[in-house]
Structure 1
Amino acid sequence: MTKLKNLFYLLAFGGTLLAIKFLLIDKIFPQFPNDAGIWFTSGLLLVILGVFVTEKYFTRSLDVLVNVITLIVVLLTLDKPELFRLWDAVFFYCIAVGILALISFVLYDEQKDQNLSSQKIADMSGTVARFLGSSRLLFSIVFILSIFNYFVFSIEKSQLITKEQVAVLVLIIFWGAVLLVEPIDRRFIQPLFDRATRKNRDKLVGKVVRRISPNIIVAEQLPNISTPSAGTLMALNRLRPTNGDHGRALMYLYSQDTENSRHAFFFALDSSPDEVSEDIYVHSIEVDAQRAIAARFPDNEIIRNRSNLVGFVDSGSDIDILKIKMIEGVDNEKRIKEGDLVSVSFYGSPTKYQIINVQTASEAVQGTNKQGGKIITAQQIGAWQTDKQKFEDMGWVPEINAPVFIESAGEEVELIDKNCYRVGVVPKSSYPIYINLEECVTHHIAIIGKTGTGKSRMSAKIIEKMAQIGYQIIIFELDRKHAQSLTRYIDSSLVEEQASDAFDLSKTTKPIVSINLQVDAKAKGTTGTVNLSDIAAGLIEKVIQYQIKDETKKICIAMEEAYDFIPESTFGSQAFGQPTVSRISQMVLKCRKHNIGLLVITQRTALVTKTILYQCHTIIALQSFDETSKNFMGAYINQRYLDSMSILPRFRAIVVGKGSSCDKPVIVDFFDPKLATPNATARAAATIP
Structure 2
Amino acid sequence: MTLNIKQRFAVVGIYLSLILGIGYYFSQDWKFLFDTSNHLNVILIVVALSLVFGVYISEPFFTKPIDVISKWITILLFLIGLNSNDCMLLYNYWLIASFVFICSGLLLVLFQNNNRFEKQQRIAIDFICKISRPEIIFTLLYFTVVISFFQYKPVEFPILIGFGFLLAINKPIVWVVKFATKLFTNITSKSDLSKFIGQVIGHESEDLYRVEIPFDNPFRQKTLKGELVYLENIKNGVVGIVLSERILLGKKWLEIISLRDANKNLISFDISSTLPLTGGKSIFSKTNAVFQLDVSALSEELKVTLGSNNIRKNFKNLIGIVWEGSTINKIKFNKLFSADLQDERKIGEGSIIQTTIAKEEVLYQIIDGRTDEENLEFKDTHGYIIGTAQKIGKYFIEEKELNTVKWLPEIYTPIFLLKVTEEEYNANEYIGKLPNTNYGIPIKKPHELVTHNTAILGILGIGKSCLTFEILKKLLATTDVKIFCIDLTNQYTKELPKYFASNIIQIDFAPVRLAALKAGNVDGHPDNPSTWGNEALYRTTIKNEIETFINSDKRVLTINPDMHNVSKAGSAFKITHKTELSPAEKARIISERLIVKAASLGETSDARFLIVFEEAHSLVPEWNSVSNAGDVSATNGTAKVILQGRKYGLGSLVITQRTANISKSILNQCNTIFALRVFDDTGKQFLENYIGSEYSNLLPTLEERHCIAIGKAMKLKQPVILQLNDKNEIEL
Q: Tell me if structure 2 keeps the 8 A contact 1:302–1:403.
A: yes
Answering whether residue 701 of structure 2 is matched by residue 647 of structure 1, we say: yes
Task: Tell me which of 208, 211, 224 is aligned to 2:203.
Answer: 211
| 1:220 to partner: Cα distance | 1.3
Distance 1:351 1:313 in 2: 13
Hey, what does 1:18 align to over in structure 2?
Answer: none
- Equivalenced residue count is 475
| Rg larger in structure | 2
Answering whether residue 275 of structure 2 is matched by residue 264 of structure 1, we say: no
Distance 2:660 2:287 in 1: 68
Q: Deviations over 1:537-568 (max 9, x none)?
A: 22223323333326566322111111232111
Q: Tell me if structure 1 keeps the 8 A contact 2:318–2:337.
A: no
Amino acid at match of 1:215: D
SS at match of 2:702: coil
- Relative to structure 1, the CA distance from residue 352 to residue 525 in structure 2 (aligned partners, 3 Å threshold; closer, same or farther) is farther
Hey, what does 2:175 align to over in structure 1?
Answer: none
Q: Tell me if structure 2 keeps the 8 A contact 1:211–1:276.
A: no
Task: Tell me which of 310, 316, 327 is aligned to 1:301.
Answer: 310
Hey, what does 1:227 align to over in structure 2?
Answer: 222
Distance 2:314 2:570 in 1: 64
Q: Tell me if structure 2 keeps the 8 A contact 1:471–1:556.
A: no
| 1:249 to partner: Cα distance | 0.8
| 1:365 to partner: Cα distance | 1.9
SS at match of 2:717: coil
Distance 2:191 2:258 in 1: 27
Hey, what does 2:351 align to over in structure 1?
Answer: 340
- Relative to structure 1, the CA distance from residue 563 to residue 489 in structure 2 (aligned partners, 3 Å threshold; closer, same or farther) is farther
| 1:619 to partner: Cα distance | 0.0
Amino acid at match of 2:317: N
- Relative to structure 1, the CA distance from residue 524 to residue 266 in structure 2 (aligned partners, 3 Å threshold; closer, same or farther) is farther
Q: Tell me if structure 2 keeps the 8 A contact 1:433–1:661.
A: no
Q: How does 1:253-332 map to 2 (within 5 A)?
A: 253-269=243-259, 270=266, 275-277=283-285, 279-289=287-297, 293-296=302-305, 300-329=309-338, 331-332=341-342
Answering whether residue 666 of structure 2 is matched by residue 612 of structure 1, we say: yes
Answering whether residue 559 of structure 2 is matched by residue 506 of structure 1, we say: no
Distance 2:720 2:194 in 1: 47
Amino acid at match of 1:649: E
Distance 2:347 2:684 in 1: 26
Amino acid at match of 1:497: I
Task: Tell me which of 422, 428, 431 is aligned to 2:430.
Answer: 422
- Relative to structure 1, the CA distance from residue 670 to residue 530 in structure 2 (aligned partners, 3 Å threshold; closer, same or farther) is farther
Q: Deviations over 1:200-259 (max 9, x none)?
A: 742112222221322211111243215345333221116xx9xxx771111111110122
| 1:277 to partner: Cα distance | 4.5
- Relative to structure 1, the CA distance from residue 294 to residue 393 in structure 2 (aligned partners, 3 Å threshold; closer, same or farther) is farther
Answering whether residue 435 of structure 2 is matched by residue 393 of structure 1, we say: no
- Relative to structure 1, the CA distance from residue 413 to residue 639 in structure 2 (aligned partners, 3 Å threshold; closer, same or farther) is farther
| 1:579 to partner: Cα distance | 1.5
Distance 2:283 2:725 in 1: 53
- Relative to structure 1, the CA distance from residue 602 to residue 529 in structure 2 (aligned partners, 3 Å threshold; closer, same or farther) is farther
Distance 2:241 2:283 in 1: 16
- Relative to structure 1, the CA distance from residue 512 to residue 523 in structure 2 (aligned partners, 3 Å threshold; closer, same or farther) is farther
- Relative to structure 1, the CA distance from residue 347 to residue 277 in structure 2 (aligned partners, 3 Å threshold; closer, same or farther) is closer
Distance 1:533 1:216 in 2: 63
SS at match of 1:590: helix
Amino acid at match of 1:531: S
Distance 2:297 2:623 in 1: 74
| 1:376 to partner: Cα distance | 0.9
Hey, what does 1:621 align to over in structure 2?
Answer: 675
Distance 1:528 1:255 in 2: 75
Distance 1:414 1:645 in 2: 26
Q: Tell me if structure 2 keeps the 8 A contact 1:433–1:662.
A: no
Unaligned runs of 5+ in 1: 1-193, 676-682
SS at match of 2:250: coil
Q: Deviations over 1:96-126 (max 9, x none)?
A: xxxxxxxxxxxxxxxxxxxxxxxxxxxxxxx
Distance 1:413 1:569 in 2: 48
Amino acid at match of 1:558: V
Distance 1:310 1:386 in 2: 24
Distance 1:469 1:641 in 2: 30
SS at match of 1:577: helix
Unaligned runs of 5+ in 2: 1-185, 260-265, 269-279, 510-540, 572-577
SS at match of 1:646: helix
| 1:474 to partner: Cα distance | 2.5
- Relative to structure 1, the CA distance from residue 339 to residue 289 in structure 2 (aligned partners, 3 Å threshold; closer, same or farther) is farther
Q: How does 1:186-197 map to 2 (within 5 A)?
A: none
Answering whether residue 395 of structure 2 is matched by residue 384 of structure 1, we say: yes
Hey, what does 2:377 align to over in structure 1?
Answer: 366
| 1:580 to partner: Cα distance | 2.2
| 1:381 to partner: Cα distance | 0.9
- Relative to structure 1, the CA distance from residue 532 to residue 275 in structure 2 (aligned partners, 3 Å threshold; closer, same or farther) is closer
Q: Tell me if structure 2 keeps the 8 A contact 1:357–1:640.
A: yes
Hey, what does 2:106 align to over in structure 1?
Answer: none
| 1:400 to partner: Cα distance | 0.8
| 1:588 to partner: Cα distance | 1.1
